[in-house]
Chain A
């Protein structure tokens, strides 16, 4: 049963379509990420859920009630912004208490609740400090505490970690997830960082140009991208463009690729074959294995990435990359001839227009 529903939501700014016909159901207690490049409409969608923007069309429902026309201060939705947005004239305690005071709760209850949420974000000791005396990470944890203090029905996070250092980002990400599952609060998380989205979410919504490209679990988004955009935006993918030859192969300009079953494409249809770099292996003799494709190339670049080494190759004037676990025993030199090989089942085939 969906708790938060967006139905046919559209929003236009002047001539720019920010969000087009957006449909999504969000389960109670789940964490859903909106992932996409800047300008893809993810923040606009979030702001429509918060009530800061009015959709031109469509409906937003929360807990079976239409909230499309409810003003933001009566929606009971918590929001955390990228730039922290703590009130600079109030100290940490008063910031957290703000929403509770708006609800006109008795003083005692306010204090108790403030102590509770500050403990939850592990910052009880700085209740008397002012925002400018805190680090970015601390400010964002206070902003989270402030949003959670009023026990909102939904928590919205708009790129909450983008302004922070890499190290703080990873730590706070885990913290957000811990608190979210502890409270079981329905959460929408906007980010342009794919790693962040994949690691934190129950469900990822990939957006581009105001439209949903794909909705799914982090793993399915990575392993079974439904569109070319998703495949290239999430991680890296080698692309081969060609025409369907038969139900198991695609004819490209210089090569014919063996792929898994593509019966649902008609013969001659233009398609693109996507292969993840980690699926590609390199060998130095042309040994053909069954169920594997074999391509000849020249090594152009070798880039060390820590756990893996990325090898860039020229294959018929097309650049192909492979991520391999590099061992010093096999020396690789630039300009060397090699054979790259990958399983037919690691080839993802989709229509070109997608």
Chain B
């Protein structure tokens, strides 16, 4: 019996980076997963939550609970949004009628690389990509979900890909959701250092697990005149998949 998964495309992924959602679906289907897309999904509520608007965040979260009510697994192309569901939803609904539902959704929500490695037990991929690549571990993926090795292992399965670890990989890129626009000066100083480290690796490809961070990094790279390729892991896997 095949595994079923619902894609959590996230608000940013839906509007700005549908190509990443498409790539994730391709990879999952190529691995035999039956993918569906619950169309009632919009945003997990993290922008409101992180800005202190708990009631508004809860309303968004409630809609998410409904959207994914029938899902076997929920797979997110954003580690941060997966972390919101997994780490914050249970507390957000504690003592409320949706508490059980929130815990249950948290338990079946995964970030993409985590799902591939920990649930599907992928240990080999028919993927080729000739590149010198570095990886940005997004903070919520790394610290909240504890997903650190999984993307590195997946990149290690890519034929032709030379992986260069990023110095000070643990540092935030400065996105931080609304932080990027409420504290733009600090945010820019942070992404500048991140970009310095990326350029310092000599990589010709930056891979990430979260389009919000990658949008920040790519936006700064472009402004600084760099054409360095920036890709979500799903894109790297989908593009290089043997046909």
Chain A bound to chain B = no
B positions within 8 Å CB-CB of A: none
A positions within 8 Å CB-CB of B: none
